[in-house]
Amino acid sequence: MTDATPRPAWRRALVTGGAGFIGSHLCERLLDSGVEVDCADNLLSGSPANTAHLESRPGFRFVRCDVSAPGCLRGLPGPYDLVLHFACCASPADYLRLPLETLDAGSLGTRNMLAVAERDGARFLLASTSEVYGDPLVHPQREDYWGNVNPVGPRSVYDESKRFAEALVTAHVRVREADAGIVRLFNTYGPRMRAHDGRAVPTFVCQALAGEPLTVAGDGHQTRSLCYVDDTVEGILLVAASRSVRPVNIGGTDEVTVGEIARRVVELTGSASPIAFVDRPADDPQRRRPDTRLARELLGWAPRVPWEEGIKQTIAYFATAGPDREAAPRL
């Protein structure tokens, strides 16, 4: 069998962090495709509002639990044939506020969810991140690049939790022959992000809608590669459905500066907000763009939503149905 050999259809999936931004979209997409879903979340950074529209759907179950806790497996009886481990504080505001919980999610949480997958003979997929590359010295970032990470800096609790989680998954593949993969996500954005989570897109959009200055860190020349959540979810599920045990980058291919993102948000909202430059956070990456050749060649995946179109949809969300319009400083 090759990495791309199809596998049988899933019947029941476990999505940890399922009440979070990406997790809730995964729950919805799986339900739409006929898969029953257990959504596990301790609501430290997720919100019940993200899955409220799913509560009445057949096959959906919300389980409030901490996947890092020793007894969590008892509340997740399964059986599952897919385990998507997305439980982690992913925004700067959250992992700086909850550093120990972030480390636990990557270590104890990953080990516990690998145990669930092993118990049920399920496919396991770890949500990793472009942060494993740190402030990269190689551009664009390929999956075989080891990264440039400060292990004791303020971002290290997130960076290193994901790097450890990747090592743990890889060890389970090697020692226990686990059916497990890793997906490295780059700058996903879209509806259901939290306005106050410290990431650039929701911060800029909510500041512009409120007529407040857009707080751009540093000189705004640092780059990001935005990927709309629908494209990210498609890539995640393609990796899950493959037999790949290698890390796979999923992210946008249009590299834009943070300053350009801010300017386009102002234009697209019709706001009169000025742009204000603030201190740049420690260890903030200067350039970020994934090499996505592996995803393209292995899975036929490529992002389809142009970043400006995705920004328009994100603006519409916060303008009409956003759960929290309060802007926050970008950390």
Q: How far, in whole angstroms, is CA 55 from its chain's centroid?
A: 22
What's the rounded Cα separation, in Å, for the pair 275 and 227? 23
Helix (H) or strand (E) holding 172: helix 156-176
Residue-wise pLDDT tens for the chain (331 aa)?
A: 556 566 778 999 999 999 999 999 999 999 999 999 999 999 999 999 999 999 999 999 999 999 999 888 889 999 999 999 999 998 888 999 999 999 999 999 999 999 999 999 999 999 999 999 999 999 999 999 999 999 999 899 999 999 999 999 999 999 999 999 999 999 999 999 998 888 999 999 999 999 999 999 999 999 999 999 999 999 999 999 999 999 999 999 889 999 999 999 999 999 999 999 999 988 888 999 999 999 999 999 999 999 999 999 999 999 985 445 433 333 2
What's the rounded Cα separation, in Å, for the pair 86 and 90? 9
Give CATH superfamily name and number for 12-188+228-250. NAD(P)-binding Rossmann-like Domain (3.40.50.720)
Report strand pairing: 12-16 vs 275-278: unpaired
By C-alpha distance, which of 78, 71, 100 is closest to 15? 78
Fold agreement between 12-188+228-250 and 189-224+254-286+305-320: no
Tokens of 16: 């940890």
Torsions phi, psi of 92, nearest 5?
A: -55, -40
Q: Which distant-in-sequence residues (6+ apart) come within 8 Å of 243 by Cβ?
A: 1, 2, 3, 4, 5, 7, 179
CB-based contact 262:218 (threshold 8 Å): no
Neighbours of 9 (CB within 10 A): 10
Q: Which distant-in-sequence residues (6+ apart) come within 8 Å of 280 by Cβ?
A: 217, 218, 222
Residue with tokens 């420690």, as numbered in its chain: 282
- Rg of the chain over all Cα atoms, to the nearest angstrom: 19
What's the rounded Cα separation, in Å, for the pair 159 and 130? 9
CB-based contact 206:311 (threshold 8 Å): no
Directed axis angle between helix 156-176 and helix 110-120, to 10°? Answer: 30
Specify the pTM: 0.94
CA angle 153, 326, 190 (to 5 degrees): 75
Torsions phi, psi of 127, nearest 5?
A: -80, 105
Sign of CA dihedral 304, 165, 2, 120: negative
Query: Tell me, what DSSP letter sits at residue 9?
Result: P
CB-based contact 220:285 (threshold 8 Å): no
What CATH class does 189-224+254-286+305-320 carry? alpha beta
Compute, in degrees rounded to 10, the torsion defined by CA atoms 98, 240, 252, 198. Answer: -10
Report strand pairing: 247-250 vs 214-217: unpaired
- Tell me which residues are annotated as active site: 158
Torsions phi, psi of 32, nearest 5?
A: -60, -30
Domain boundaries, the chain: 12-188+228-250, 189-224+254-286+305-320
